[in-house]
Amino acid sequence: MTKPATPQLNGNAANPTRRTVARFSDADQSLPSRSRPTNGTAVDIDSQESSDGASSTESEQVNGAGKPKRPGMTRKASSPMAPAFMVSAPGKVIVFGEHAVVYGKAALAAAISLRSYLLVTTLSKSHRTVTLNFRDIGLSHTWDIDTLPWDIFQSPSKKKFYYDLVTSLDPELVEAIQPHLQGVAKGLPEDQRKTRVNSAFSFLYLFLSLGSPQSPGAIYTLRSTIPTSAGLGSSASVCVCLSAALLLQIRTLAGPHPDQPSEEAETQIERINRWAFVGELCIHGNPSGVDNTVSAGGKAVIYRRSDYSKPPTVVSLPTFPVLPLLLVDTRQSRSTATEVAKVGALKARHPAVTQSILDAIDQITASAQQLIDAPEFDGSTDESLAHIGTLIRINHGFLVSLGVSHPRLERIRELVDYADIGWTKLTGAGGGGCAITLLRPDAKPEVVRDLERKLANEGFNKYESTLGGDGVGVLWPAVLRNGSDEEGGEEIDQQKFENAEGPEGIERLVGVGLQERRESWKFWKRVPA
Ligand SMILES: Nc1ncnc2c1ncn2[C@@H]1O[C@H](COP(=O)(O)OP(=O)(O)OP(=O)(O)O)[C@@H](O)[C@H]1O
Ligand SMILES: C[C@@](O)(CCO)CC(=O)[O-]
């Protein structure tokens, strides 16, 4: 277990339950964390300057709750407010090892350039509410902070701290949350309600675990460019965003900043990842943790969790090649929890056979790792692409045997095989969702185009995404230089963010993608192996 680097935050080491909301002067609003001398603990998002946005936030953010700006008002020194800020985390593709990873085998997974973005707007002291505004899934719900079940979450036998490793949900805490989920998406059909309730559950569990009755009111607005139910780790990226935002709000994260020692960055990633995993437990039931791990740290990793009471082994793959991948969505939605349960049922009924398939998948991942780790490895050669491609094809065969493919996934594979231009496998939980195709280096562009046309005609969706991007990032305050004329940069307020049209609009407004224009986004960088 990584030792907490800053356990004495806010001087409440002896009794961290009593850690209260940040108290600092108005002049110091660029929170979360210039090193504050109050307790000798450096928690810093320095190098991220405060902006004019900070001083205007109170009235404007309350605006989000429907009040006009009152320019002449003087602020009370006792009502400090953090500026609006954003966090973002990527989706992922699993190249090898999905499902087997749930049983302690290794998986090779990489972050993708599709991402979730979460805008956190802190409300003034008088607003004692938290609102989830999750546009992609049509969830909008507000809770009164003072009526949430703090007593049980804060009781000494239950209280968990920001540095704790939580590997299962506490049934009593789960039960305490239930009454607060009853009003969520009331009146909708059960299947549509479930999506919203799952996300709300995940948020409340994290908010009640990490926050306190003194937590400030806030609006959490989420938009994602990752399709849901597609096997691309949408839920994990949402959980990473929530975890990072809540940990930032309670000022328990150092950085990110460009010259941060990599071990310190790793500690922050680990801290975010642990709570993101708890969020995933709320949504998926029995996740391996690979999705949130890739989303939190980014790039490509080999992941293994043999003992669920301990942190997983995560090995970065800095030499993972930029593979020519086609990412195709069946648009057949499914639930990860259901697909994971299917394999569980197969294993219970045919333990020896299922075990040997899982072991064989482990061998596939090991073979890929050996190839990539070899000093002479060059990911662009025909030979290495054919090696990886063959492993992709074999891995898919095993996933079919486990019963997690789908006729629409098989149709994609069939079309690619007919065109003879690459190797295909499902990625993620299967049962629908996405397939990845590694294109042969000699695939003729016109044949690829013809295949893409056929896929489109049959209702499949193609995604443009690159592999191996950054993990969780922070934009503090939520101000970007977007090439606009606004002095000091463009403030990302709630309305602008909500009104951004589709994935392109989101990328254009707040995307981390165009690094040269988006240097205000900062990332914790994982330590290379
Ligand atoms: N963009 C989003 N906004 C809010 N909640 C989301 C979003 N995406 C996913 N979720 C939550 O996660 C749940 C599971 O999502 P989904 O089945 O799409 O999993 P996934 O993470 O995309 O798939 P996989 O785990 O196979 O990669 C949803 O029911 C919803 O509660
Ligand atoms: C199917 C699975 O292996 C991958 C989902 O993206 C489930 C998990 O690892 O939690």
Give the Cα separation of 137 and 364 in Å (integer): 36
Q: Is there a catalytic annotation at residue 450? A: no
Cα–Cα dist 415/404, whole Å: 19
* Fold entry, domain 44-66+81-300+469-523: Ribosomal Protein S5; domain 2 (3.30.230)
Token couple for 187: 């009146």
Q: What is the mean pLDDT of residues 22-34?
A: 30
Q: How many CA atoms are closer than 13 Å to the CA of 121, on its beta-carbon side? A: 29
- Residue 67 in this model has a pLDDT that exceeds 80: no
Q: Which atom of ligand 1 is nearest to the CA of 433?
A: 26
Helix (H, G, I), strand (E, B) or coil at 85: strand
Band of the pLDDT at 527, cuts 50, 70, 90?
A: confident
Q: Which of 237, 284, 290 to mutate to test the pocket of ligand 2 (most atoms within 8 A of CB)?
A: 290
Q: Which position among 26, 44, 291, 485 bears the catalytic label?
A: 291
335: Cβ below 6 Å to ligand 2? no
Start-end of H helices in 147-189: 150-154, 171-181
- 357 Cβ below 6 A of ligand 2: no
Q: For residue 136, how far is its CA from the centre of ligand 1 (angstroms)?
A: 10
**Model confidence at 482, in pLDDT bands (50, 70, 90)?**
low
For ligand 2, atom 6, which residue shows the shortest CA distance? 428
| Ligand 1: centre distance to CA 227 (Å) | 8
| pLDDT tens figures, 216-261 | 999 999 999 999 888 899 999 999 999 999 999 999 999 898 889 9
Within 8 A by CB and 6+ apart from 512, the residues are 88, 115, 470, 473, 518, 521, 523
Helix (H) or strand (E) run with residue 451 in it: helix 445-457
Q: Residue 18: pLDDT band by 50, 70, 90 thresholds?
A: very low
The ranges assigned to domains in the chain are 44-66+81-300+469-523, 319-463
Checking if the pLDDT of 27 tops 50, the result is: no
Task: Give the distance (Å) from ligand 2 centre to CA of residue 401.
Answer: 16
Distances (CA, A) of 324 to 266, 459, 467: 29, 22, 9
Q: Is the pLDDT of residue 26 over 80?
A: no
Report the 10 Å Cβ neighbour count for 214.
12
Residues with CB under 6 A from ligand 1: 116, 134, 136-137, 195, 198-199, 222, 224, 228-236, 238, 283, 291, 335-336, 428-429, 433
**With contact defined as beta carbons under 8 Å apart, do 522 and 122 qualify?**
no
Q: What separation in Å is there between the alpha carbon of 334 and the centre of ligand 2?
A: 13
Q: From atom 28 of ligand 1, which residue's Cα is the shortest distance away?
A: 195
Q: Which fold has domain 319-463?
A: Alpha-Beta Plaits (3.30.70)
Alpha carbon nearest to ligand 1 atom 17, residue? 229
Distance 429 CA to ligand 2 centre (A): 5
Tokens of 317: 């793959």
- Which residue's CA is the nearest one to ligand 1's atom 14? 235
Measured from the alpha carbon of residue 106, the closest ligand is 2
Please count the residues of the chain: 529
What mean pLDDT comes out for the span 367-384? 91
Mean pLDDT computed over 399-416: 98
Pairwise pLDDT comparison (54 vs 473), residue with the higher score = 473
Which one is predicted more confidently, 325 or 95? 95
Residue 74: left if φ>0, alpha if ψ -120 to 50, beta else—which one?
beta
Q: Whose CA is nearest to atom 11 of ligand 1?
A: 235
pTM recorded for the entire structure: 0.85
The ligand placed nearest to the CA atom of residue 181 is 1
- ipTM of predicted assembly, 2 dp: 0.97
pLDDT digit string, tens, across residues 415-447: 999 999 999 999 999 999 999 999 998 899 999
